Amino acid sequence: MIESYSFGSMTITGQSHRNDLKIIENQIIGNWWRREGHALYAEDIDDILYSAVETLVIGTGAYGSMRVTDDAKKAMEGRGIKFVAVPTKEAVTIFNTLHAQGKRVAGAFHLTC
């Protein structure tokens, strides 16, 4: 599903995205803003928390600068959502693998630092 990623840019099904984004059940939600730019809180992923996904793949940026707060971790665990948080390049590979396997996977990707 994700064709390519480089610092500040992701291509999905032929469309280029230059802002952070989420993918939930094959829907792309662009221009994703968080409460804090380099932190992920539960409120930043409310839509994912209340979807039917099994796994959330979090791209923490090219250099892994975005951290997942305890608040977000507890919210995901409380909803039974597995998650992996890794630098975005690695997250793209994991997301694509799970998607190809037919898993119910969502992605939340920080595209820059």
Cα 69 to its chain centre, rounded Å, is 14
8 Å CB contact between 10 and 112: no
Tell me which amino acid residue 2 is: I
Handedness of CA 88, 92, 95, 98 (dihedral sign): negative
> How much is the pLDDT for 10?
98
Domain of 105 in residue numbering reads as 2-109
Number of domains in the chain: 1
**pLDDT at residue 30, as a whole number:** 95
> CB–CB of 65/88 below 8 Å?
no
Instruction: Locate 107 and state its tokens.
Output: 């992605």
78: helix, coil or strand? helix
Name which of 6, 5, 9, 12 is nearest 99 in CA terms.
12
Q: How confident is the model at residue 14 (pLDDT cuts 50, 70, 90)?
A: very high
* CATH code assigned at 47: 3.40.1230.10
- pLDDT tens digits, one per residue of 37-84: 899 999 999 999 999 999 999 999 999 999 999 999 999 999 999 999
pLDDT in tens, 72-99: 999 999 999 999 999 999 999 999 999 9
Name the token pair of 82: 């597995």
